[in-house]
Structure 1
Amino acid sequence: MLNKKLSAIAHQAIGHTPLASAVLAAVLAAGLGSAGIAAAQEQDKPSVNVATDPSFVPFEMLDSETNEMVGFDMDIINEVADRAGFEVNLTTMKFSGIIPAVQTGSQEIAIAGTTITDKRARVVDFSDPYYDSGLRLMVREGNDDIQTLEDLEGKAVATKIGSTSYDYLQENLGDSAEITPYPGTSDMYMALLGRNVDATFYDAPNVAYFAQTQGEGRAKVVGPLYEGQQYGIVFHKGSRWLKPANEALAAMKEDGTYDEIYRKWFGKAPSAE
């Protein structure tokens, strides 16, 4: 199709002459050359190891129909990769293993709703923040006794291993409550619904999503938002991809792409919240 269009253009402009043939050859060479260069550039994109946690909905989760990872974080990292010039080689693992994997270099990048903290920043690099969050408390529907963290004294509360919510509970409740860390979010939510614990405490968007979906009519979010937090994409220390990723994030926010992705998963743009 491309060859026919170029041929028509050349013949229309110059006619059926030896000159036209020469021009046509040059035009075709240039056109095919450009296409070839573009294809080569696409093929030359480096494949970068990226880790995520498959159980942090709606940020990252497995689509049972396509068997592919989907979610807010997945859309973000794929867009960042496209703009920064690399291909995503995705690996899923438990959240507790993500920082060590990036720290040791087995994974170059990770995106898993990871809160930026000084402790983590000592062993990995973070992108500029891409999501504002916090911590929320959830109890079973009908439980009006627990409204704040202070009400958890003498109670059992579930959270996730390796999370900032676990650290927060340890710092603010200590031994006054039974703090049980679980390997996955589904584990701690099932513990709540199964009456093994009195409450769960975890990242606000994930808690809210569960309460509105699988937990609807069985669980509810209570109390204030604790410890305002920001999520960042995680990079191996000194990663060459940190600067291009930050530039991509800035461009996405500038041209409206970030808001489009945000609305897709959370219903409205962050500026409207």
Structure 2
Amino acid sequence: MKKGLSIVLGTVIALSLSACGNGATTANKSTDSTQPAQTKAVKKYTFGTDATYPPFEFQKDGKYIGIDIDLINAIAKEEGFEVEVKPMNFKGIIPAITAKQLDGALAGISITDERKQVVGLSDSYYQAGLSLIVREDNTTIKTPEDLKGKVIAIKKGTSGAKLADEYGKKYGAQVKYFDDSPSMYQEVANKNADVTIEDFPVISYKIAVDPNSKLKVVGDRLNSDFYGIAVSKDNEELMKKINDGLKKLKDNGKYDEIFSTYMGK
């Protein structure tokens, strides 16, 4: 009797354990099948820009647009990351990158050996070059040699500022510094300065869209600057994404499309 009871109880326990085991496995499978697949988090990078620098970056109807803005958004789309654009004064951009307040920047940044010491710079994406700009009725300035005793208005922290300093020392010119491009343009237009130095495509665009600028470009280009995208010097991952993205845009025609939107074909 005890033996028979033991057999019955053993069978019941075995069936119960078997049932519990199958139920747990099914539940696990059911749970796994209903859970959404995990997706890799998309990285977001903050890029600084100077929003007073058309056609590369400027504000229109409350939005920031321009060649550089379109370019970084297109690169981000190709390389699978997100972008936050942070407008700021140009002179603060490089320090903000080195202080890790920005991941990178696009702001018509000329590739120079000096900048390469503190930030990483991408492959070049545009050949610019600096030019002398005077008031439209000025007939005395055509070359750097004509700057003797003149007043140069210039934006702080730019490659033009470095050249202005050189001209100031070489030709005895006075250099007046400003925080933004519009202010230095106005200084020349108001005859408070004789000349300014600006990237050729930028000033050409301004004069074309603003017939009341009272400015004109004189002489040959002073140099042959190339623009690059700046990133934190130790961020090799972002640098690779940018260079790869630039190449893809040039190969698929998007690069030409962006530039033609603002500068014509």
> Structure 2 length normalisation: TM-score?
0.82
Please list every run of 5 or more consecutive structure 1 residues that lacks an aligned counterpart in the other structure.
1-29, 269-273
Taking a change above 3 Å as real, the CA distance of residues 187 and 101 of structure 1, as seen in their structure-2 partners, is same
User: Is the aligned partner of 1:204 residue 2:200?
Assistant: yes
Q: Match of 1:227, SS? A: coil
Equivalent residue, structure 1, for 2:147: 152
Partners of 1:185 and 1:247 in 2: CA distance: 32
Matches within 5 A, 1:116-135: 116-135=111-130
Q: Are 1:131 and 1:230, in contact at CA under 8 Å, matched by a contact in 2?
A: yes
Matches within 5 A, 1:1-273: 40=39, 44-63=41-60, 65=61, 67-174=62-169, 176-216=172-212, 218-239=214-235, 240-268=237-265
Please list every run of 5 or more consecutive structure 2 residues that lacks an aligned counterpart in the other structure.
1-32
Partners of 1:216 and 1:266 in 2: CA distance: 20
1:77 to partner: Cα distance:
0.5
Taking a change above 3 Å as real, the CA distance of residues 95 and 217 of structure 1, as seen in their structure-2 partners, is closer
Q: Are 1:134 and 1:203, in contact at CA under 8 Å, matched by a contact in 2?
A: yes
Backbone CA RMSD of aligned residues: 1.9
State the identity as a percent: 35
CA-to-partner distance for each residue in 1:235-271, whole Å, 9 max, x for gaps?
A: 0012121001101101111111111111111111xxx
Matched to 1:214, the amino acid is: D
Matched to 1:265, the amino acid is: Y
Q: Are 1:156 and 1:179, in contact at CA under 8 Å, matched by a contact in 2?
A: yes
Equivalent residue, structure 2, for 1:4: none
Q: Match of 1:254, SS? A: helix
1:122 to partner: Cα distance:
0.7
Q: Match of 1:226, SS? A: coil
Partners of 2:232 and 2:73 in 1: CA distance: 18
Equivalent residue, structure 1, for 2:13: none
Partners of 1:106 and 1:129 in 2: CA distance: 23
Partners of 1:195 and 1:234 in 2: CA distance: 35
Equivalent residue, structure 2, for 1:23: none
Taking a change above 3 Å as real, the CA distance of residues 157 and 252 of structure 1, as seen in their structure-2 partners, is same
Matched to 1:57, the amino acid is: P
Partners of 1:76 and 1:216 in 2: CA distance: 29
Q: Are 2:97 and 2:119, in contact at CA under 8 Å, matched by a contact in 1?
A: yes
Give the count of matched residue pairs: 231
Q: Are 2:167 and 2:173, in contact at CA under 8 Å, matched by a contact in 1?
A: no
CA-to-partner distance for each residue in 1:110-162, whole Å, 9 max, x for gaps?
A: 00000011111111001100010110111111211111111111111111100
1:216 to partner: Cα distance:
4.5
Partners of 1:232 and 1:70 in 2: CA distance: 18
1:40 to partner: Cα distance:
4.6
Q: Are 1:159 and 1:180, in contact at CA under 8 Å, matched by a contact in 2?
A: yes
